[in-house]
Amino acid sequence: MLKTFKIGGIHPCDSKLSKGASIEILPLPAKVVIPASQHIGAPATVIVKKGDRVKAGDIIATASGFVSANVHSSVSGTVQAVDMQKDAMGIARQSVTIAVEGDEWNETIDRSDELVAECNLSSKEIIDKIAAAGIVGMGGATFPTQVKLSVPSGKKAEFLIINGVECEPYLTADHRVMLEKAPQLLAGVRILCKALEVDRAFIGIENNKRDAIEHLTREAASYPGITVVPLKVKYPQGGEKQLIDAIVGRQVPSGALPIDVGAVVQNVGTALAVYEAVQKNKPLFERVVTVTGKDFSSPKNLLVRIGTPIASLLEYCGGIPETTGKIINGGPMMGRSLCNPEAPVTKGTSGILCMNDKEAAREPDTPCIRCAKCVSVCPMGLEPYLINVMSRKKMFAELEVHRPTDCIECGSCSFTCPAHIPLLDHIRVAKGEVMKIIRSRK
């Protein structure tokens, strides 16, 4: 029987329209806009100025705290500006604008396709190279990878879990990486194991990606300690706590982290980036992005330089369909509506989804019928209907005991609500307000 997590979950249509589309390299844009903040934590400190010439792979902003990440130029050219530019959410962030002039890379980067599987570096040396390369979680969370690999004193990693689930509907970037970059991915997994000083790694893949399961299982046969684990299709299995439960049957307690049950979770895209950083000296300045939607004639998976305008991806795929009602940065469940198509691709951009008018339209909400469906599907064991009501009434002080901060914002509650109540919208508000209360006590 296929494994899966125990609490909650739903089964939205996966709509993997681009799963058969091989990764294509997007042509370079005329300019890129690279934000200094593309990660959870403190924004990086910009170290270049207008008029400076840079190459792809040159550092342009340095990490400014323990939880922060370096930022590198994704192109060669001249810095046009260091100023505030709007991101995909319309929020102004300090950014570096670079006019593209050719495609010259930093000389230390190995651009050959030769696989370098053996790594002779120590754990600390690996983590230092990952930090220098500015690698963050590529599944969307964008947590600095070197921080995740730095196990706190008194805790111990027992195993590594690689997230190849990609349970978000429509998105297929990770699927294509597993099919097209398996040797490099597995070498990256082994490097991560060495960094954590563990000898076991599990790659979790849902059963709607049987080709990836079969391919990686064959490739992993020559890597002792790496096991491919087929999983039942269920959303949101890509959540860290859900994936740990599904693969090893351990529950991460409320307020705890995966390391508290001996686990460290990394995305397949992150593992690939780790291989490229450690073995090829290549910083994280490009990533695979899915561009998709039911009204695209040919949805694609594109290898894109960080800082490329999202509009360039859409144009390459035939332009925004006339029927588009909403453009989503990410997938339909956890993605956010895009308010600025000229915003840049960042390290956390996993997909761009054009939803047609019918899909994008929200049904008018009606009174709650007390069916408790939202409770039954919540993967964190919360009571979404109650948090929603208390949030609307601004009862934030009383809300803390109901654990809104445990919400992973998967959207399962809103998806299943027969009254079409935007539960997640109000839970997000509650989560933010309760976190403010908790921080004020500290």
- pLDDT band of residue 165 (cuts 50, 70, 90) is very high
Lowest mean pLDDT among 133-137, 139-143, 160-164, 352-356: 139-143
Q: Is the dihedral of CA 93, 340, 436, 439 positive or negative?
A: negative
Gap between the Cα atoms of 213 and 196, Å rounded: 25
Q: What is the dihedral of CA 79, 85, 87, 89, to 10 degrees?
A: 180
- pLDDT band of residue 140 (cuts 50, 70, 90) is confident
- pLDDT band of residue 370 (cuts 50, 70, 90) is very high
**E strand spans, 103-191:** 159-163
Average pLDDT over residues 388-407: 96
**pLDDT at 251 exceeding the cut of 80:** yes
Task: For each of the domains in the chain, give its residue range(s) and CATH number, in order of start.
Answer: 123-280 (3.40.50.11540), 373-441 (no CATH)
- 409-432: pLDDT as tens digits: 999 999 999 999 999 999 999 999
For residue 27, give the DSSP letter: P
Query: What is residue 434's predicted lDDT score, i.e. its pLDDT?
Result: 96
Gap between the Cα atoms of 329 and 314, Å rounded: 12
Query: What is residue 367's predicted lDDT score, i.e. its pLDDT?
Result: 96
- 290-338: pLDDT as tens digits: 999 999 989 999 999 999 999 999 999 999 999 999 999 999 999 999 9
Query: What is residue 441's predicted lDDT score, i.e. its pLDDT?
Result: 87
Query: What is residue 89's predicted lDDT score, i.e. its pLDDT?
Result: 87
- 206-221: pLDDT as tens digits: 999 999 999 999 999 9
Q: Is the dihedral of CA 206, 345, 125, 276 positive or negative?
A: positive
Question: Of 23, 192, 181, which is closest to residue 119 (Cα–Cα)?
Answer: 192
**pLDDT at 442 exceeding the cut of 80:** no
Residues 6+ apart with CB under 8 A from 141: 40, 348
Give yes or no for a contact between 280 and 263, defined as CB atoms under 8 angstroms apart. Answer: no
pTM, full prediction: 0.96
How far apart, in Å, are the Cα atoms of 34 and each of 11, 286, 287, 315?
36, 11, 14, 20
**pLDDT at 340 exceeding the cut of 90:** no
CA 249 to chain centre: 23
